[in-house]
């Protein structure tokens, strides 16, 4: 069974540009979570999608947005990139609400 897949692995952008990150959950998982992990910091919750709807978002500005497609894959968009957006962005999926998260390999975003 394929795990959670994320693309691209690395992404380099300049300040002010937009970044798009993609995620495919484990087959059968309908929930997708996005987390940001800045260097030396913990995992900060960004967004939760379930059954195609945004269910919750963390304490991040509106320029962080996303969506979930009918096949449950998801996209995270970051507009007007700032230097402090440089981080590892992790996507995870779960089978049901209290199940553990299974993470993809992450996208390393670098903003210069």
Partner 1 sequence: QKEVEQNSGPLSVPEGAIASLNCTYSDRGSQSFFWYRQYSGKSPELIMSIYSNGDKEDGRFTAQLNKASQYVSLLIRDSQPSDSATYLCAVNGPLPGGSYIPTFGRGTSLIVHP
Residues 52-91 that bind partner 1 (CB under 8 A): 55-56, 58, 88, 90
Kindly indicate which of the ranges 15-23, 60-68, 73-81, 95-103 contains the residues binding partner 1, using the contact rule CB under 8 A: 95-103
Contact call for residues 65 and 46 (beta carbons, < 8 A): no
- Interface pick for partner 1 out of 34, 104, 109, 111 (rule CB under 8 A): 104
- Any idea which residue has 């959670």 for tokens? 4
Q: Is the dihedral of CA 56, 1, 90, 10 positive or negative?
A: negative
Own/partner contacts of 67-72, CB < 8 Å, gap of 24 or more, are 68/32, 72/24, 72/25, 72/29, 72/30, 72/32
x/- track of binding to partner 1 for residues 1-40 (CB under 8 A): --------------------------------x-x-----
- Interface pick for partner 1 out of 11, 30, 45, 60 (rule CB under 8 A): 45
Contact call for residues 66 and 58 (beta carbons, < 8 A): no
Q: How far is the CB of 22 from partner 1 (least distance, A)?
A: 15
Where along the sequence are the contacts to partner 1 (CB under 8 A)?
A: 33, 35, 41-43, 45, 48, 55-56, 58, 88, 90, 97-106
């Amino acid at each position: 069974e394929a795990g959670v897949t994320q693309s691209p692995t690395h992404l380099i952008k300049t300040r002010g540009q937009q970044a798009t990150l993609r995620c495919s959950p484990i087959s059968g998982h309908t929930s997708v979570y996005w987390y940001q992990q800045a260097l030396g910091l913990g995992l900060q919750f960004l967004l939760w999608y379930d059954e195609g709807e945004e269910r919750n978002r963390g304490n991040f500005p509106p320029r962080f947005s996303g969506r979930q497609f009918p096949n449950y894959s998801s996209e995270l968009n970051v507009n007007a990139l700032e230097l402090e957006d440089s981080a590892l962005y992790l996507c995870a999926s779960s089978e049901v609400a209290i199940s553990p998260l299974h993470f993809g390999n992450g996208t390393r975003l670098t903003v210069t």
